[in-house]
Structure 1
Amino acid sequence: MANLNSSIKIVEVTTVTPPQDSKTPNSLPLTFFDLVWLRSPPTKRLYLYELPTVSTATFFDSVLPKLKHSLSLTLRHFLPLAGNISWPETSPKPLIDYVGGSDDGVSFTVAESDADFYDLSAADINESTASHLLVPDLAVSKEKAAVTALQITVFPNRGFSIGITTHHAVLDGKSSTSFIKAWSHICKIGDQYSTASLPELNLLYDRSVIKDPKGLEAIYVNNCLQSGGPNNKSLLPDHKPRIPSDTVRVTFQLSRVKIEKLREFVKVEMAKRKDQNPHHVSTFSLTVAYTCTCLAKSEGLSSEIELVLISFGVDCRSRLEPPVLGYFGNCMTLKVAFAEAKGVMGKEGFLVAVNAISEAIKSLETDGIFHGAENRVAGKHSLPPFKLYNFSGSPRFEVYNSDFGWGRPTKVDMPCFDTNSAISLSDSKNGDGGVQIGLPLNKHIVEAFASQFAKGLEDLPF
């Protein structure tokens, strides 16, 4: 099990700013997609890269300057990431501003660690606190909140890590990972990179493309003002993240071959039942359903639990009219699938979960993507006792395709989910079309979950 009990030494903390010729807007208002995340804790992602042939001196003399320079060039296209969120007294809603002053730019921390890099990057079980020392904090006060912070940590003669922390009110997972992929491409190619050849740089910043027929912005702004109000314009998070002491972070890989077997199993079983309803058997749906079922059975749900709720994000860029492909910012909604707990815990639990997720996805077409969105910030419900499983991320982000010039990352993870029990999904590090699943688990159920996860796949009749 990987840990970071070894020391981490901060070498320097500087600020990286974009060139003066940026064409990106230097001020953007938050939309209703952004406002729901205004006081949420920041999002943190960690990339680990093996680099055993480069000495520490060479890293600081050659690799680090290249990372800094390419970051500056990348920020030319992602100017809001170098700015701050504020909520002026004269503004009806918060803004993202980059004015080029001393408070703007991306905080860039450089650190050195003597921890076991190979243990940290290869282990499937990590102490939940291990990765957090490799990802920086975000500067946030009542009046101002930084958008982005980065930390480069070098492991002498072993490798390095890139930890990125972003404010969720400015960008979602798709925008965040697009930034990292753009940065890695520019770092690898150099100053002669072509904007036309890099899709991640074809960004849409125009906020007028986001229509608000249900008046969600006014609802969300009012909720922000009244929460802890009246007229509360504080930008401080509404709660401080805490890592449970009995939690470890576990990583599982679901291979493409196993996913295809799950897909075939669902199709055969539905045919046996003469079920004519179309079911969503995408890689995402199958992975979420299988993981959720294994979790419920390994945890052993209380008899009082009546429902299992499966929450996941839906990218709205292609679902808006007209579509807003390339939109930078938040453009996602949350969808919840409902399943009877007894069904999920039963013999056909996986099929029950697949059906629930399919119904939730189909409702996006019948009810629309904004159905119930006006109640999202209310915090009230009339549901019977339930167990919630929250999934975040997507294999489509392709986080392992972030090569800065020294190869693909050996591991990518999201430490921020240790504090809210969310389950992260990404593409597989093996590059085989599979899915990586990151789970914060109670230490006492790790073995039970691993056994359930492996046995369910072994018992497939294909």
Structure 2
Amino acid sequence: MEKHEESFKVVQVCNVEPYLDTTKPFSSPTSLPLTFFDLLWLRFPPVELLFFYELTNSTTFFYDTLLPNLKHSLSLTLQHFLPLAGNITWPSDSSKPIINYVKGDNSISFNVVESKESFKDLSSHHCEASKRHHLIPHLKISHEKASLLAIQVTLFPNNGFCIGITTHHAALDGKSLSTFMKSWSYVACSNSKHDSSFLSLPETLTPFFDRSLIQDHNNGIGISDAYVVDLMKQGGPNNRSLKIMNFSGPVKHDVVKSLFELTPSNIQKLKEHGKNDMKMKVINLSTFLVTSAYILACLAKAEQPKVEKVVFIISMDCRSRLDPSISTMYIGNCIAGQKIVFETKNLVGKNGFLNALEGINKALNSVKDVGVLNGAENWVSNMYSGFEGAFSLGESRNNNGGIEIGLALNKEELEAFSTIFVEGLESI
């Protein structure tokens, strides 16, 4: 990051609070419990996302019109997402950490930066990870207190701007963060037309925070209680610290953050290939299933692991899988990891995609039989044993039903993956 310090300058450092009517009392609840789904991620690194937008308007337009709208619409959006302006604390009289969002201590860090770096290079599908570090905001995290959300807007004069957002993993999963960002976008677009102190959200964006519907037991065992015991042993004994643990392992140099896309036609080809050639016949192959299987097979072939077995963990949205199910607009963590063990030779061979597809499909089907919370009391101890890599999946920016895949690989691995990714689709 040091070599970029002269190429950017901090313009504004401020906090954005939820817009509240000061003539009325603050009647909202002031705390929110963390469920076992949240506690699982308490000491995991924050989630960092960057959104790039082209902007041909003048710098004056950005500061006079666009930036004030971003800040005011964020304040309006936080009316609906009050807990996100709070902090995680672990009160001495509480057996578990909680989210506090009391008036006077409920705001989001919002910084504005100008950069002389190349907007085109930084927003490209393939960019060295180190070049983007100065675009990412940092959460305030100490042993006693952890903020949940931080935002940085970086202007590239006459080219575009970037919104960097960092979230505490114990507060939001991917679905929740997507709901928040879509809500902010909706309010920003509406506010530009109708300047208002309150904007209601459509039903498809209205957040749901009720934790009472998540049953905290599995085979008679209190899952949260089991997690707290495990968490307090990490760096313990009796460790109630909220500091993030280091899961990064050895430093990898020359890492390039890359974005690949599967178009709707690519996805359809993978589904047809799976239906026609899988030994285990499946009528409906989901986009998530075929995408995960294809990327796993491509990664295995690119990296050529020097081990006999590869462990793959998939994240499953549990909102519809719980009994009873909860709202798709639930804000918090509601994901479970399913561990799958593959023989390396089955992934790197000719039928790597099909073998990955069958393995993941079998694992997902087993969840239906034993329940999504089977073995949940052991998730913390399993998760904190560490991991070596990951990839992310998201909706295509083109809003066409495609999928974007985020990866961080060194240059050699990236070149190999790119070739395998393209040639694999062409050969189907």
Given that 2:253 and 2:410 are in contact with CA atoms closer than 8 Å, whether structure 1 keeps it comes out as no
1:45 aligns with 2:49: yes
Distance 1:234 1:336 in 2: 28
What pairs with 1:14-25 in structure 2 (closer than 5 Å)? 14-21=14-21, 25=29
Amino acid at match of 2:271: R
1:26 aligns with 2:30: yes
Change (3 A) 1:249 1:6: farther
Given that 1:293 and 1:350 are in contact with CA atoms closer than 8 Å, whether structure 2 keeps it comes out as yes
| 1:249 match | 257
Amino acid at match of 2:59: T
1:85 aligns with 2:93: no
Distance 1:381 1:61 in 2: 47
Kindly state the Cα deviation for residue 198 of structure 1 after the two structures are TM-superposed: 4.7
Distance 1:316 1:205 in 2: 15
Change (3 A) 1:29 1:251: same
Change (3 A) 1:86 1:369: same
After superposition, give the CA deviation of every residue in 1:170-226 in whole Å (9 maximum; x if it has no partner): 11111111111101110100146753525212x222211110222111000111222
Given that 1:5 and 1:115 are in contact with CA atoms closer than 8 Å, whether structure 2 keeps it comes out as no
Amino acid at match of 2:16: V
Within the candidate set 344, 358, 362, 2:365 is matched to: 362
Amino acid at match of 2:226: I
Kindly state the Cα deviation for residue 20 of structure 1 after the two structures are TM-superposed: 2.5
Distance 1:237 1:20 in 2: 32
Kindly state the Cα deviation for residue 457 of structure 1 after the two structures are TM-superposed: 1.0
The two structures have a TM-score, normalised by structure 2, of 0.91
1:454 aligns with 2:425: no
Given that 2:183 and 2:201 are in contact with CA atoms closer than 8 Å, whether structure 1 keeps it comes out as no
Change (3 A) 1:6 1:434: farther
Distance 1:238 1:381 in 2: 9
Given that 1:23 and 1:76 are in contact with CA atoms closer than 8 Å, whether structure 2 keeps it comes out as no
Within the candidate set 199, 202, 205, 1:197 is matched to: 202
Amino acid at match of 1:10: V
1:327 aligns with 2:330: yes
Kindly state the Cα deviation for residue 360 of structure 1 after the two structures are TM-superposed: 1.0
Distance 1:130 1:363 in 2: 43
1:236 aligns with 2:254: no
Given that 1:172 and 1:330 are in contact with CA atoms closer than 8 Å, whether structure 2 keeps it comes out as yes
Which SS does the other structure have where 2:313 is aligned? strand
Distance 2:384 2:404 in 1: 32
Given that 2:346 and 2:355 are in contact with CA atoms closer than 8 Å, whether structure 1 keeps it comes out as yes
Of stretches 172-181 and 440-449 in structure 1, the one that deviates more from structure 2 is: 440-449
Given that 2:16 and 2:110 are in contact with CA atoms closer than 8 Å, whether structure 1 keeps it comes out as yes
After superposition, give the CA deviation of every residue in 1:226-274 in whole Å (9 maximum; x if it has no partner): 222222111001127576223111211111111111111111113xx5x
Amino acid at match of 2:237: P
Task: Give the share of equivalent positions with the same residue, in percent.
Answer: 46
- The alignment yields a C-alpha RMSD, in angstroms, of 2.2
Amino acid at match of 2:210: D
Distance 1:196 1:161 in 2: 25
1:377 aligns with 2:385: no
After superposition, give the CA deviation of every residue in 1:82-108 in whole Å (9 maximum; x if it has no partner): 11110011111111011122x430000
1:438 aligns with 2:406: yes
Distance 1:321 1:362 in 2: 16
Change (3 A) 1:23 1:318: farther
Distance 2:348 2:389 in 1: 20
Given that 2:119 and 2:156 are in contact with CA atoms closer than 8 Å, whether structure 1 keeps it comes out as yes
Change (3 A) 1:75 1:381: closer
